[in-house]
Structure 1
Amino acid sequence: MEEVKVDLLINNAHVYNSVTREFQNISVTVMEGKFYWLTNDVANIEANQVLDLNGKYLIPGLIDSHMHIESSMTTPQNFGNAVAKFGTTTVIADAHEIANVAGVKGLKSYMGQDSIIDVFYAIPSSVPSTNTDMETTGGTIIAEDIEELISNPKVICLGEAMNFQGITSEPNSLIRKIIERVHSKRPTMPIEGHCPKYTGLDLAKFIYSGVTSDHTQQTADSVVEKIMNGMFIQLQRKSINEEILRTISSQKLFEHVALVTDDVMPDDLQVGHLNEIVKLVIKNGLSPEEAIYLATYTPARRMGLWDRGSIMPGRVADFVVLDDINTFKIDSVYKNGKKVGLEEKLDEKFTFDDSLVNSAKAQKLNLKDFDLCVEKKNGKVNANVIQISKQGTFTKKVSKELRVDNHKVCWEEAGLALLMIQERYGKTGDITFGLVDQSITQLGAIGATWAHDHHNIMVLGTEISSMLAIQNQLIEKQGGYMVAKKGKVTVEVGLPVGGVVSELPIKILGDQVRELRKQMRELGYVNTNEIMSFSTLSLLVSPELKMSDKGLFDVKSQALVKLFE
């Protein structure tokens, strides 16, 4: 037999086989960053490096097929530095937050930053998430922009289509034009969807448009219905429970499911990434072999990444060494056949486009600007109020009768919080107000430019002086996430890149966000994810009642809802 020269020879490992979903005892070779030959005949192999794993487990690098780097409030570089040690070696990022702030120009700037992991991108399909009559964004992506973006080799899919009304009922909507342009240029490109709670005919209309995946919160029934109608399901944390996993296993639906993170807060990112989802799936009933399959092989095939997701000849040599498969304890991670350092690496200097570093152009307000007044001088008014839940990001519309005193609405005495959204891109200067139930219960305020998806200035408070302090400081600092008490900002997470991203390493940023979360709770804002709950009060595609700089909207019908009846 001829002598075989390779860069790396891996011996004494239990190697994951993606075809059989089993581990096998076999040696693995790597050459020029790719897996080369799997064999037990190593006598004639000459390797530059030999790695003896002493019975440990070898699996492909984890692939996150639906996520948003900006949801971690960070840059591609810092994100890669943070997640590589947790086994994530490839992500498909939908950077629609950046695109909403600065359009194609800002998106290309953001995509231009390198990372130690492989970052592929989705074309943001919903910029804005609805339309310009419902929200003001800093940038837009129109059908004519698709051709420029689709030619970028980093772009491999169309990002989540969210506008249900535009997709299903408006033949000339922007989202339909974008989907048509993608179909004409890349007929087989995956089209991602955001499809919460839609079933029956509504679901059929959504899939008929060309949308072929969904990552929103699922039930066992919705998983089956969507898969049986041709959808690929991306399970994030909130959809993982024993019933759903038992359904996937019993009905043999593995080929149509992948594990994803979607959004991971910076403080959570200090602890783990997609590996934590894998652990949760194992804890809730799937075998480690099945969980690994859903975090490597199925996402790779869904996204047409035929060069990875398995340990086979010619595939990218991204792999994770596990001490134990049941606990998913990671020993080490390799990218392109080379070991990844466990400590975060220092960033190289990168300059983002001016559209991302000078995006807050709103005017500072004063105390009088927060007066909530009506034409009626005295008496009572009925208000349509956003009621948040303690879990998830969905809201309800509830009616509250409020007293009016000399034209001012006495919302404070009803235990409500005032919500203010201000257009920040220097286009209209519009300011709108809403009222929120079951949110802040103590005196203070919360505010951010990290307000999905339009990312205008959003402040919620029970104390006007604190709301004003946040509004002023968000403009001064070109964006951020803040809490204020007694008229002073008490915690600040600076987000100067587009008002949505920090350039700090996750080690520092995560600590800041942890303190932010703590102070939000101290104000009485309690949710399974306080930060995302608050930030999606402005998300016009997440049921039921949400708000933008244009006013209150019913999400499904997209109808404007009057604050006061």
Structure 2
Amino acid sequence: MHEREQCRRVALGLDPPSLLLKRGKVYSPFTGEFFTADVVLCGSLIAGVGDYPGQAAQTIDARGAYLLPGFIDAHVHPETSLLSPPRFAEALAVHGITTTISEPHELVNVVGRAGMDFYLQARTGLPIDLRLMVPTTVPASPFEQATGRLTGDDVADLLAREGVTGLGEAMDYMGLVGGQPSAALAQDPFRNVIDGHAPDITGRDLAAYLIAGPISDHETSDPELLLERRRLGMWILVREGSAARDLSRATPFLVQHGTERTALCTDDRNAAALAEHHHIDGVVGALVRAGVALSDALRAATLNPATLYRLHDRGSITPGLRADLLVVDDPSFPHPRLVVQAGTLVAKDGTVTVPLPATPALVSTPFHLSVARPEDLAPAAADGSHRARAIHLAPRTIVTDERIVEIRARHGRVLADPDKDVALAALLERSGQITAAGPSPNQMGHGLVSGLGLGRGAIATTIAHDAHHLLVTGIDPEDMLLAAQAVASGGGGLAVVDRGVVQTLPLPLAGLMTDLPVDVVGRRLRSLEAAVADLGVDFEEPFMVLSFVTLSVIPRLRLTLGGILDVQAQELVPLLV
């Protein structure tokens, strides 16, 4: 019998349901109310909401509890969790996430089409529905050189695949405003949902950006810019990630104007944050505590993202829709007691209750480290004193600034100056595959970083958005080389060095992910961060902050293989001024 015919019979009370949730307080995002009812399921679907006194294959007593639709993370790059897809899904399911709108452009930048194929295979059998967006900007801008590529044919083919929801964030916003869309965005812009990426764009530039097709933005938290976007009908995605934490700044706007055309997302959140903190469930709670109406906060986590991404089969507890729902004790702090995804109980009391599938095989990504001399990691300059540009970092944001610093050079190389909070930075191409089309394999970009507080040692990472080459920052070039070698020996990952390798976290899946559980990865990451703190760094999430030093589509200064990029001016600028 067809599932919907079975559900019809269950709805009429003719057949028993597969699961009965008895007398819970059901949330309706349409009316904003809670009402007491039974909810009956038939396989993967909701069959009825009302009074169902009969027997069921399984019954859950929900009296005194609240029944919510499953939460949807409206925009996330799953690789930045550092976790393989099964481990990522495991970490999210316990927080009531039943659907993610996932754009794996980190992996695609490294391995190309094979990265999308990996996630298409990996999404099967997970305790969440990992929906995919096809990356539109690989590399993120003309100033980045990525080893991975997606062709127009790849994009067209991927959009037709099961589990693909639309086109990922249009990151090269300057290109779109200037009339130079990527091949993926040059098609009919309103045929597919297109995620936006519009930091500080306003006025006529915003109008030009919207004409190109993007309908959302997760890069803005300024109340005036949020209001401008709301007035124009643009969807606002309120982001609370590990480094980019916009919730507190955006909340006053939401208190005043509500959550119409607003959804919640994490964008980039690492394993430690996933293991220690709440996810969208915690964001909902924070909004309510700040004064956002409970129904508005819940709607932003459920029906709104489903509407945005045209997922009309979910987002509410409605007969005929997917049976994605949560049992919580307090809707104003909705950490779930039980999580049902597509009719299956997938998590109970913080533990996933279904087996995880194996991680699929991923194409190999050989690590090529051509630098052999420590001095090559420092910028070249004539001996003496100079004025130079430094990429200045600040806490709780991924936006950088330009800081002009006084530096010295000796033996033809720039010296770090920890007393002035100036560290060396080098970006190394790690695949050995970028040749005639870009920098040669042994070419690297050099720069300076300030604001980090690094007093000695070095830090290395292959989490370096978006092309994910090898980023090394440090005071001593010998430590920097040792850190680079430590990362290379693990096939990619993170390393902290202080006159000897202190700690590493290998990320063998393309230098981005590991198959270890979230709690193990979280502990090791926090241990690395403690080692970084011993070097003088007083930053929350230092690796996440550093990972954005290289992202060429966020203001203001960034480090690329070609050198220092002024994002607003859209040009490479010299280190020395």
What TM-score results when the alignment is normalised by the length of structure 1? 0.93
Q: 1:451-473: CA deviations, max 9, x gaps?
A: 01110011000122211111112
- In structure 2, relative to structure 1, the CA distance for the partners of 1:338 and 1:398 (3 Å cut) is same
Matched residues in 2 for 1:203 and 1:335: separation?
Answer: 38
In the TM superposition, residue 320 of structure 1 has moved relative to its aligned partner by 0.7
Q: 1:239 aligns with which of 246, 251, 255?
A: 246
Q: 1:484-512: CA deviations, max 9, x gaps?
A: 111x2212111111111111111211111
Question: Any unmatched runs of 5+ in structure 2?
Answer: 1-11, 435-439
Amino acid at match of 2:275: Q
In the TM superposition, residue 347 of structure 1 has moved relative to its aligned partner by 4.5
Which residue in 1 is equivalent to 2:213?
A: 210
Matched residues in 2 for 1:407 and 1:480: separation?
Answer: 31
Q: 1:125-163: CA deviations, max 9, x gaps?
A: 1110002xx222110223332112111121111111111
Secondary structure of the structure 2 residue equivalent to 1:441:
coil
- In 1, are the aligned partners of 2:218 and 2:236 still within 8 Å (CA)? yes
Asked if 1:504 is matched to 2:508, the reply is no
Asked if 1:435 is matched to 2:448, the reply is yes
Amino acid at match of 2:484: Q
In the TM superposition, residue 286 of structure 1 has moved relative to its aligned partner by 1.4
In the TM superposition, residue 334 of structure 1 has moved relative to its aligned partner by 1.4
Asked if 1:306 is matched to 2:312, the reply is yes
Matches within 5 A, 1:67-466: 67-113=76-122, 114=124, 115-131=126-142, 134-171=143-180, 173=181, 175=182, 177-181=183-187, 183=189, 187-237=190-240, 238-241=245-248, 244-252=250-258, 254-271=259-276, 272-341=278-347, 342-344=350-352, 347-354=356-363, 357-374=364-381, 376=382, 378-412=383-417, 414-426=420-432, 427=434, 428-429=440-441, 430-466=443-479
Amino acid at match of 2:141: T
How many residue pairs get aligned? The number is 548
Matched residues in 1 for 2:334 and 2:57: separation?
Answer: 29
- In 2, are the aligned partners of 1:233 and 1:257 still within 8 Å (CA)? yes
In the TM superposition, residue 360 of structure 1 has moved relative to its aligned partner by 2.0
- In structure 2, relative to structure 1, the CA distance for the partners of 1:136 and 1:362 (3 Å cut) is farther
In the TM superposition, residue 525 of structure 1 has moved relative to its aligned partner by 2.2
In the TM superposition, residue 406 of structure 1 has moved relative to its aligned partner by 4.5
Q: 2:501 aligns with which of 489, 503, 524?
A: 489
Secondary structure of the structure 2 residue equivalent to 1:205:
helix
Amino acid at match of 1:328: P
In the TM superposition, residue 249 of structure 1 has moved relative to its aligned partner by 4.5
- In 1, are the aligned partners of 2:238 and 2:265 still within 8 Å (CA)? yes
Which residue in 2 is equivalent to 1:473?
A: 486
% identical aligned pairs:
28
Which residue in 1 is equivalent to 2:7?
A: none
Matched residues in 1 for 2:256 and 2:484: separation?
Answer: 52
In the TM superposition, residue 306 of structure 1 has moved relative to its aligned partner by 0.6
- In 2, are the aligned partners of 1:233 and 1:256 still within 8 Å (CA)? yes
Which residue in 2 is equivalent to 1:533?
A: 545
Q: 1:59 aligns with which of 65, 68, 72?
A: 68
Which residue in 2 is equivalent to 1:10?
A: 21
Secondary structure of the structure 1 residue equivalent to 2:329:
strand
Which residue in 1 is equivalent to 2:9?
A: none
Matched residues in 2 for 1:270 and 1:481: separation?
Answer: 18
Amino acid at match of 1:258: A
Matched residues in 1 for 2:13 and 2:542: separation?
Answer: 62
Matched residues in 2 for 1:431 and 1:308: separation?
Answer: 47
Matched residues in 2 for 1:419 and 1:337: separation?
Answer: 50
Matched residues in 2 for 1:66 and 1:442: separation?
Answer: 36
Matched residues in 2 for 1:359 and 1:405: separation?
Answer: 35
Question: Any unmatched runs of 5+ in structure 1?
Answer: none
Matched residues in 2 for 1:310 and 1:373: separation?
Answer: 60
In the TM superposition, residue 321 of structure 1 has moved relative to its aligned partner by 0.5
- In 1, are the aligned partners of 2:365 and 2:431 still within 8 Å (CA)? no
Secondary structure of the structure 1 residue equivalent to 2:548:
helix
Matched residues in 1 for 2:489 and 2:524: separation?
Answer: 19
In the TM superposition, residue 112 of structure 1 has moved relative to its aligned partner by 1.2
Q: 1:411-434: CA deviations, max 9, x gaps?
A: 437541100111112122211210
Amino acid at match of 1:432: G
- In 2, are the aligned partners of 1:137 and 1:425 still within 8 Å (CA)? no
- In 2, are the aligned partners of 1:264 and 1:273 still within 8 Å (CA)? no
Asked if 1:49 is matched to 2:66, the reply is no
- In structure 2, relative to structure 1, the CA distance for the partners of 1:2 and 1:334 (3 Å cut) is closer
- In 1, are the aligned partners of 2:197 and 2:218 still within 8 Å (CA)? yes
In the TM superposition, residue 260 of structure 1 has moved relative to its aligned partner by 1.1
In the TM superposition, residue 102 of structure 1 has moved relative to its aligned partner by 0.6
- In structure 2, relative to structure 1, the CA distance for the partners of 1:408 and 1:83 (3 Å cut) is closer
- In 2, are the aligned partners of 1:261 and 1:277 still within 8 Å (CA)? no
Asked if 1:558 is matched to 2:561, the reply is no
- In structure 2, relative to structure 1, the CA distance for the partners of 1:351 and 1:363 (3 Å cut) is farther
Matched residues in 2 for 1:63 and 1:348: separation?
Answer: 21
In the TM superposition, residue 3 of structure 1 has moved relative to its aligned partner by 3.1
In the TM superposition, residue 371 of structure 1 has moved relative to its aligned partner by 4.4
Secondary structure of the structure 1 residue equivalent to 2:313:
coil
- In 1, are the aligned partners of 2:375 and 2:477 still within 8 Å (CA)? no
In the TM superposition, residue 336 of structure 1 has moved relative to its aligned partner by 2.1
Q: 1:338-373: CA deviations, max 9, x gaps?
A: 22244356654334232xx32422324222323433
- In 1, are the aligned partners of 2:220 and 2:226 still within 8 Å (CA)? no
Amino acid at match of 1:55: G
- In 2, are the aligned partners of 1:236 and 1:277 still within 8 Å (CA)? no
Considering only aligned residues, what root-mean-square deviation do their CA atoms show, in Å?
A: 1.9
Which residue in 2 is equivalent to 1:545?
A: 557
- In structure 2, relative to structure 1, the CA distance for the partners of 1:405 and 1:511 (3 Å cut) is closer
Matched residues in 1 for 2:13 and 2:564: separation?
Answer: 73
Amino acid at match of 2:365: N
Matched residues in 2 for 1:446 and 1:420: separation?
Answer: 11
Amino acid at match of 1:122: M
